[in-house]
Amino acid sequence: MLAELASTDYKIQLDVAEAEYQGIKAEAERLMALYKENVTTPNVNDKAVYGLRQITVKYTSKIKCAEASFQFARDVYGRYAGSGNQFSGSRIYSQ
């Protein structure tokens, strides 16, 4: 059996989620500020508000999934660490 710590995958998933979240959040906040200045319509403001809520939920769930994936990899690694298997870096090879 081969198990590999997913720290790189974990970091990539978080970076992608963070970038997507920050971009949409900034755009939504900009549109909401324009609405307060009576520059945009209520419809645009509503889309910004609900879009921000949606991306926040999506971002939170991506973080939880990434954390769960990383924890699973750590658990697998820990389970095989004391079983007499040979290790090469972060990989575990069963005999």
Rounded CA separation 5/90 (Å): 6
pLDDT-derived band of residue 82, with 50, 70 and 90 as boundaries?
low
Strand order in the sheet with 2-4: 2-4, 91-93, 86-88
Q: What is the pLDDT of residues 17-76, one digit of tens each?
A: 889 999 999 999 999 999 999 999 999 999 999 999 999 998 888 888 877 777 777 777
Helices (H), 1-95: 7-36, 42-81
Model pTM score: 0.65
